[in-house]
Structure 1
């Protein structure tokens, strides 16, 4: 019979840990082979507590990176798309962590990780939860241009420059900061990074809001202002909407998962939408399936409301609709 999990020292039960650390704390070789301990990477163990999320998701990639932390060597940092995920970007990606080490260090070769090297020393940022070192969001975005689909670069850029009510200091980085970093980059994919940054806009508050906006751009629909305060004819504030054209009294809204999981949020949004409709606004509401499964029909609804034609998607968004 396996030894009880309660024998795992408390510090190790709450995070991934290295085999060397476990041995120092007294765990035996038999204990390290307990069936409830995972081996996400060679020399690392973690308690299995929940089923992993979908393969191509920010949550799984973030979890994989945190499991890799015990393997990080001096001067090694999380980089590329992994750093973007640790900066909070809601991108879809493969979970293998990208790690980069200062030359002449040798790139990581652990199974399940992707190793890189960088030539110049850098001042790493720190991940808030784990304290793990990672490259700056500006560098991460230019690096990730070599490994991410174009739409994911725009999602990441939108997230990084989004105004944050919870952060007194504003966005993580400014749009101009991203432009400056990409302007001087000469790495693989740097042109794609610059193109993605030019499509970034402050205001999108979720991944799907960015994808809905990109769908409109792909079909040539004029961009609408983001996070618009809407008032009725008497000047009373109705609420803030995802996108709106006030002169034509048209609102475009993405209904996120909170409508399914929170009755309070659902009621609040339903009251806001009803008030906007009573004030004479036409409200176009879309869900995940509208954006991902029927993009042309969704674009057609918005274009018809705005009285503009659809145009065939062109570069750099030609492949946007295929990147589901």
Structure 2
């Protein structure tokens, strides 16, 4: 299966699939490394990007695209001393990236909840960039460019 993935899919999709395998099945990192034996160097190098903390494919895709652009993003970060749930990705120590799916962010109530979270994060000094799954999968360059611009301006740091 891994050889077929490496031969047919973009790197960010491969990592998203492997992240999901680690998080949602009994597959271990050892299992992935064993399955990667015999892969090309590129295929084996993708294992360093796999992270079982990723909560969705869109998060994984954004994280990998940013890593390929030289920008590290940490998945599923908890904000200490708050009642806020985890944030999807954190770049630096204050740039929050939220990756929205239709299922969890598509309704009116869900949208209002997201806006309230964004306001609470802003009150704590965080900057929130929120991307829809359509942007992530169909306009990935614009997503990466937006994040990199904030990093260039130093806005990812307190």
Could you tell me the TM-score, scaled by structure 1's length? 0.42
Please name the residue that 1:306 is paired with.
Answer: 151
The reply to whether residue 281 of structure 1 matches residue 146 of structure 2 is no
Deviation at 1:141, TM superposition (A): 2.5
Tell me the number of residue pairs that the alignment of Structure 1 and Structure 2 aligns: 152
**What secondary structure, in the 3-state scheme, does the structure 2 residue paired with 1:244 have?**
strand
Which structure has the higher relative contact order (CA within 8 Å, separation 6+)? 2
**1:114-125 aligned within 5 A:** none
**What secondary structure, in the 3-state scheme, does the structure 1 residue paired with 2:85 have?**
strand
Please name the residue that 1:154 is paired with.
Answer: 15
Deviation at 1:244, TM superposition (A): 1.5
Please name the residue that 2:142 is paired with.
Answer: 297
Please name the residue that 2:88 is paired with.
Answer: 242
The question of whether the paired residues in 1 share the 8 Å contact of 2:101 and 2:133 is answered with: yes
Where in structure 1 are there 5+ consecutive unaligned residues?
1-139, 165-170, 310-324
The question of whether the paired residues in 1 share the 8 Å contact of 2:33 and 2:47 is answered with: yes
Cα deviations across residues 179-204 of structure 1 (Å, max 9, x unaligned)? 12212xx3xxx224323322212222
Cα deviations across residues 5-28 of structure 1 (Å, max 9, x unaligned)? xxxxxxxxxxxxxxxxxxxxxxxx
Distance between the aligned counterparts of 2:146 and 2:6, measured in 1? 32
Q: Which has the larger radius of gyration?
A: 1
Query: Considering only aligned residues, what root-mean-square deviation do their CA atoms show, in Å?
Result: 2.5
Deviation at 1:245, TM superposition (A): 4.1
Please name the residue that 2:77 is paired with.
Answer: 228
Distance between the aligned counterparts of 1:148 and 1:299, measured in 2? 19
**What secondary structure, in the 3-state scheme, does the structure 2 residue paired with 1:180 have?**
helix
The question of whether the paired residues in 2 share the 8 Å contact of 1:141 and 1:156 is answered with: no
The reply to whether residue 194 of structure 1 matches residue 48 of structure 2 is no
Structure number with higher helix proportion: 2
Please name the residue that 2:69 is paired with.
Answer: 219
Distance between the aligned counterparts of 1:216 and 1:246, measured in 2? 12
Could you tell me the TM-score, scaled by structure 2's length? 0.79
Please name the residue that 1:253 is paired with.
Answer: 98
The question of whether the paired residues in 1 share the 8 Å contact of 2:67 and 2:73 is answered with: no
Distance between the aligned counterparts of 1:246 and 1:215, measured in 2? 16
The reply to whether residue 204 of structure 1 matches residue 49 of structure 2 is no
Cα deviations across residues 185-229 of structure 1 (Å, max 9, x unaligned)? x3xxx22432332221222222211111122122222x2211011
Cα deviations across residues 27-56 of structure 1 (Å, max 9, x unaligned)? xxxxxxxxxxxxxxxxxxxxxxxxxxxxxx
Q: 1:149 to 1:202 in 2, by over 3 A?
A: same
